[in-house]
């Protein structure tokens, strides 16, 4: 609901630019260039990005860790904030 309200409150011109950038950009070639430890978070039930997307991103980024949260939605910081923060903190604790 929070995400829906946020989108509905967005200026249409800004939403148009966001949508164009989101749906017409392809940055897959950049993933292999990521040179820092990376946490890839995904929700177990995401209608926007299926689990194959998380697996692809994880496989393409060296030194990445994939965590699947038992949550629904595309924005786990909204749908599962506690699990999201716990996953981030656990990841940070493992860094050298």
The whole-number pLDDT of residue 4 equals: 61
Report whether 22 contacts 15 (CB < 8 A): no
Instruction: Tell me the average pLDDT across 27-48.
Output: 96
Report whether 70 contacts 83 (CB < 8 A): yes
The pLDDT-based confidence of 80 (bands split at 50, 70, 90) is very high
How far apart, in whole angstroms, are the C-alpha atoms of residue 67 and residue 58?
A: 10
Whether 17 is in a domain gets the answer no
Lowest mean pLDDT among 7-21, 50-64, 66-80: 7-21
Give me the domain span that covers residue 85. 27-94
Instruction: Tell me the average pLDDT across 52-80.
Output: 95
Question: Quick count: other Cβ atoms within 10 Å of Cβ 69?
Answer: 20
Indicate the pTM of the whole model: 0.80
Question: Quick count: other Cβ atoms within 10 Å of Cβ 91?
Answer: 16
The pLDDT-based confidence of 62 (bands split at 50, 70, 90) is very high
Question: Quick count: other Cβ atoms within 10 Å of Cβ 45?
Answer: 14
Count up the domains in the chain and report the number. Answer: 1
Whether 88 is in a domain gets the answer yes
């Amino acid at each position: 609901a929070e995400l829906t309200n946020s989108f509905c409150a967005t200026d249409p011109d800004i939403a148009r630019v966001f949508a164009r950038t989101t749906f017409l950009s392809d940055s897959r070639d950049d993933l292999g260039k990521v040179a820092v430890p990376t946490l890839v978070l995904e929700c177990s039930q995401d209608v926007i990005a299926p689990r194959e997307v998380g697996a692809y991103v994880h496989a393409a980024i060296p030194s990445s860790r994939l965590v699947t949260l038992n949550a629904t939605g595309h924005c786990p910081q909204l749908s599962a904030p506690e699990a999201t923060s716990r996953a981030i903190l656990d990841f940070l604790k493992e860094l050298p």
